[in-house]
Structure 1
Amino acid sequence: MRQLIFALLLSATTTSAAAQSAKPLEVTEASVTQLQQAMAEGRATSASITRAYLARIAAYDQSGPRLNAIIRLNPRALAEAAALDAERKAGKVRGPMHGIPFILKDNYDTGDMPTTAGSLALANSQPARDGFITKQIRDAGGVLIAKANMHELAAGITSISSLGGQTRNPYDPARCPGGSSGGTGAAIAASFAAVGWGSDTCGSIRIPSAFGALVGLRPTVGYDPADPVTVLVKDKRPRFMDALKPGAFKGARIGVFAPYFRETDAEIADSVRAAIATMKSLGATVIDVPMPEFDTLMVNTGVTNQETKHDLENAAHTLTLSRQAALRARVERVIDSLQLDAIAYPTMRQAPVFPGEIQAGSTCQLGAQSGLPSIAFPAGFTADGLPVSVELLGKAMSDVQLVSFAYAFEQHGSRRRAPSTTPALVAGKAPAPRVVGPDVRTASGSLPLSARDRDAFGKGQLSVALYTASGKAVEATLR
């Protein structure tokens, strides 16, 4: 649970300040850079931006598609935003996060709000103080707007909990959003804030990023003075902004990781290979990485279910950790021998499932069990409108380079589009729904239905899994 990260859009605006100032500020799909520029130019305040995000949460979290991504709002968010506006007016700007609303997965300690990990048993668990990461973000000027639902105790990847219930995917509310940071992923995908933090035990950031058309980074473990495991990176301070260059792929060498193209949906594999072809067109050399011994290397390298004091003292657990070291060494030898900058593969090989189903297709183990940094970013969409994600993994401390690759890929043409279930508000309210494409007929009208879902409906799998604009499940018949 030490892997901490954001899921955000990397997009930097190329629109002139004059052109932007002529338009009213719209927070839907806005990047941190755009929001910061709007505040600097006086076109918005932290308080007005916070109100806009709160309006979106009100319109779409428990209404409309009922994403159920938020487990708790911060009742002091507007007051915190106003205080940061006062600081800005007095000439103090703490940095790029000053006045920016953010969302935390509900396993980040907050001294002024409960921290539950989605468990009813921890509903009133109140930490004594902010956790290390929470304090850093707040000290940098971030406004905590809400805490997000998660798969209970981070023990799964479909994001259902006894306290928060089932979070839904903004791209198809009948499906799961990934997990365990699924509440954060769904919230950022739906523009409930510009940036959110999750935690990554295996794929807990990258899977929701894949299913939400987001960028998600599992970093090299960052330094925390209270965590002796992180001492090796104590004096390393990566500078991401300086590395955001459109030409980052020129001269780079990208390995195509063959084991993670097995048992992959054809559409997903095609989209990821197309993304890798784009990297090649941007100047990268692409090399196949077969690694036939991969399955053997991965055996008994997971420690997710063993991280307790008792197990850490257990000889068998020590052996498992030694297998992780062997896996990491082997992957880094492959990277070095082929002179690679990163290894590429699909973030998820299968589409998001319906609630109650087992989510297959994860490739998270390579990054999680080797301990190496990896970044997931949008590669496109399936014919059914579901996001597809490509992942790059590099050697330890290659985080900045990985982010530079994701940025360069995005500048060539963003593969993200906003979910149709959470459009921009009109006068602070959700616009009236409209039907496009195939649909089903219900007692209250028609609902959009993808080709894949039409097939599932015909098999009886969607009889009560469709939702009206008010979020209520309905019985429906195929038109």
Structure 2
Amino acid sequence: MSVRRRLGLLLVAAALPAALLTAPAHAARPAPTAVDVVGLGVAEAHTLLTQRKVTSVQLVDSYLQRIEAYEDAYGDQPGVNAVITVNRHARAEAARLDAERRSGRTRGPLHGIPIVVKDNFDTVGMPTTSGSVALRDLYPRDDATQIRKLRDAGAIILAKTNLHEFAMNITTISSLGGQTRNPYDQQRIPGGSSGGTGAAVAASFAPAGMGSDTCGSIRIPAAHNNLVGLRPTLGLSSRDGVAPLASTQDTAGPLAGSVRDVALILDATVGYDPKDPVTAAAKGNIPRSYLTGMTNNSLQGKKVGVFTDYFGTTDAAQDTNELVRAAIDDMAALGAESVELGPQPEIMAAAAAANRVRDEFERDLNAYLDAARGKPRDLARLEPPYREITLADIATSGQVTPSVLTTLRNWVDSPTLPNPSYTEKLRQRDILQAKLTELMAEHDLDALVYPTISEPPAVIGTTQSYLNCRLAGYSGFPALSVPAGFTADGLPVGVELLGEPFAEPALLSMGYAYEQATEHRTPPESTPALR
């Protein structure tokens, strides 16, 4: 019996109130429906709902059918294994939103749209586990701010998705969710740490989803799953209620099948939140809509700097290099000027020295856990203080996937902040920000361009480098990953555009023009339409 099925039975056995009941990934078996949702985006679903060609209930049923069909082993495939928990009330929520629509009330383009969210977003009525068996009974006091905003906009939280446990790596394996697989080749990783969201959206378990990005955790799954993923400027969107990895690096944002869909979700989720003081920087930096300015001609007159240091030198990187070079040529054909920047040793050195995760994780996770409810008493009693869950309790429990458990045990009793080593890392972050700004000003650039990740998705059980995440992750600058095509083996590759703080409108408009001209988005063959 799978961990997720055991979790579902535990919830039922505990006779929790109905508002708190959730289901394991395959508990719901909706009636058959004729809606084909393969490749259906948020914007297209909105149009179908507006035209009364489908209902939200039909959409929920269709996505649940796909989860039922493709999540576990089927045919000659091992199964995508992207979902930790399904929202048992999703169909009822869809029915209420359908009734609102019939009464003449709609909340906007997300009204009645099902989405999936990484299982480190606090979601009332569902556990927020960070992929860990240790936290399977951890329930949030309230929704994360971005989840609340999505609900207010009419979105339906369909399911919580797997992640690399505690968002610690890019292969997306966890003690609670197991190994998530890439729908384009189920023997390969989906990227991470938001790999469950990436795989679920690619497999059409939902038209879009939410992830978090501390270094590359939104953009890498986007690249590996032929999706669009945006790491927003640090401060544009609230991190309140998102289990932290490092507060000076963490961001949270959307993954979807198109730039337009990312913009629609961004419109609903950005803005100042007093629960996350860093978002004060967003004041005055948010457009009326991120859809504004997105045209097929948006690359005309733009200037992009080719960050050559991020092109890989391994044999495995050559296909990626060729596809990203072709993407740059396509951008030039669409009116952009490209500039070869050559080696940037000062930027590379600062990026290599600016990672604060090791310093901040224990402090930030303990603060997050302190605010949670539904804390398992047996877990809290393992280490002092005995009434609160801490990193030390989790590490002592051993209820964590082995590679992550080793890291957690090494990070218990981290040095108190601030300290000279941590202060130096913050100084290197400042140098990185200054050098990036200087480079872009020197060449009058609208964006830097480079491979999102230097190699295609790795085979499960192996590793791959993901150093290309550093420029955005450690500086706090925004970056957009857009599909750049497929290798000869049919593996997706992403091209990334990085801009200065709050340059999301420009990045989205450039990405949109490139996307519309190249049309690289193709659903995976391993999860076809249901008959």
Q: TM-score, normalised by structure 2?
A: 0.74
2:310 counterpart residue number: 260
What are the superposed Cα offsets for residues 350-382 of structure 1, whole Å, 9 maximum, x if unpaired?
122222222224410111011110000100100
CA distance in 2, matches of 1:218, 1:301: 18
CA distance in 1, matches of 2:61, 2:165: 29
Letter in 2 for 1:300: A
Secondary structure of the equivalent of 1:350? coil
Letter in 2 for 1:334: L
2:354 counterpart residue number: 301
User: Which of 31, 36, 43 pairs up with 1:33?
Assistant: 43
1:53-132 aligned within 5 A: 53-64=63-74, 65=77, 66-132=79-145
CA distance in 1, matches of 2:498, 2:126: 35
Deviation at 1:295, TM superposition (A): 2.9
How many equivalent pairs are there?
A: 403
1:197-276 aligned within 5 A: 197-221=210-234, 222=236, 223-238=272-287, 239-263=289-313, 265-276=317-328
Deviation at 1:421, TM superposition (A): 0.3
Secondary structure of the equivalent of 1:50? helix
User: Which of 462, 466, 479 pairs up with 1:357?
Assistant: 462
Secondary structure of the equivalent of 2:84? strand
CA distance in 1, matches of 2:490, 2:118: 26
CA distance in 2, matches of 1:130, 1:32: 22
Consecutive unaligned residues of structure 1, counting only runs of 5 or more, are: 1-23, 427-479
1:321-400 aligned within 5 A: 321-400=426-505
What are the superposed Cα offsets for residues 72-131 of structure 1, whole Å, 9 maximum, x if unpaired?
000000000000000001111101100000000000001110000000100010111111
What are the superposed Cα offsets for residues 169-194 of structure 1, whole Å, 9 maximum, x if unpaired?
10110111110000000000111000
Q: Is the 1:25–1:43 contact (alpha carbons within 8 Å) kept by the matching residues of 2?
A: no
Report whether the alignment pairs 1:46 with 2:56.
Answer: yes
Q: Is the 2:483–2:492 contact (alpha carbons within 8 Å) kept by the matching residues of 1?
A: yes
Report whether the alignment pairs 1:172 with 2:208.
Answer: no
CA distance in 2, matches of 1:62, 1:191: 15
Secondary structure of the equivalent of 2:441? helix
CA distance in 1, matches of 2:176, 2:416: 28
Deviation at 1:267, TM superposition (A): 1.0
Q: Is the 1:25–1:38 contact (alpha carbons within 8 Å) kept by the matching residues of 2?
A: no
Secondary structure of the equivalent of 1:115? coil
What are the superposed Cα offsets for residues 214-247 of structure 1, whole Å, 9 maximum, x if unpaired?
0000011223211122212134323211122111
Q: Is the 1:378–1:389 contact (alpha carbons within 8 Å) kept by the matching residues of 2?
A: yes
Consecutive unaligned residues of structure 2, counting only runs of 5 or more, are: 1-33, 237-271, 364-414
Letter in 1 for 2:48: A
Letter in 2 for 1:282: L
Q: Is the 1:256–1:288 contact (alpha carbons within 8 Å) kept by the matching residues of 2?
A: yes
CA distance in 2, matches of 1:348, 1:180: 13
CA distance in 1, matches of 2:61, 2:120: 25
Deviation at 1:305, TM superposition (A): 1.9
CA distance in 1, matches of 2:348, 2:292: 38
CA distance in 2, matches of 1:261, 1:343: 13
1:440-479 aligned within 5 A: none
User: Which of 412, 419, 424 pairs up with 2:529?
Assistant: 424
2:148 counterpart residue number: 135
CA distance in 1, matches of 2:278, 2:52: 44
Secondary structure of the equivalent of 2:450? strand
1:470 counterpart residue number: none
CA distance in 2, matches of 1:152, 1:62: 20
What are the superposed Cα offsets for residues 356-411 of structure 1, whole Å, 9 maximum, x if unpaired?
22222441011101111000010010000000110000000101110111111111
User: Which of 200, 215, 231 pairs up with 1:187?
Assistant: 200
User: Which of 167, 179, 198 pairs up with 1:154?
Assistant: 167
CA distance in 1, matches of 2:192, 2:284: 32
Computed over aligned residues only, the root mean square deviation of the Cα atoms, in angstroms, reads 1.3
CA distance in 2, matches of 1:413, 1:157: 27
What are the superposed Cα offsets for residues 449-476 of structure 1, whole Å, 9 maximum, x if unpaired?
xxxxxxxxxxxxxxxxxxxxxxxxxxxx
Letter in 1 for 2:433: R
Q: TM-score, normalised by structure 1?
A: 0.82
Q: Is the 2:347–2:435 contact (alpha carbons within 8 Å) kept by the matching residues of 1?
A: no
What are the superposed Cα offsets for residues 239-280 of structure 1, whole Å, 9 maximum, x if unpaired?
211122111100000110010014251111010000000000
Secondary structure of the equivalent of 1:156? coil
Q: Is the 2:129–2:136 contact (alpha carbons within 8 Å) kept by the matching residues of 1?
A: yes
Letter in 2 for 1:151: H
Farther off after superposition, 160-169 or 240-249: 240-249
Q: Percent identity?
A: 46
Which has a greater percent of strand?
1
2:27 counterpart residue number: none
User: Which of 340, 346, 351 pairs up with 1:288?
Assistant: 340
1:19 counterpart residue number: none
Q: Rate the CA distance shift 1:32–1:200 in 2: closer, same or farther, 3 A.
A: same
CA distance in 1, matches of 2:418, 2:279: 19
Deviation at 1:25, TM superposition (A): 4.4
Secondary structure of the equivalent of 2:471? helix
Deviation at 1:26, TM superposition (A): 2.1
Letter in 2 for 1:355: I
Q: Is the 1:177–1:212 contact (alpha carbons within 8 Å) kept by the matching residues of 2?
A: yes
CA distance in 2, matches of 1:124, 1:25: 35
Letter in 1 for 2:349: T
Letter in 2 for 1:271: L
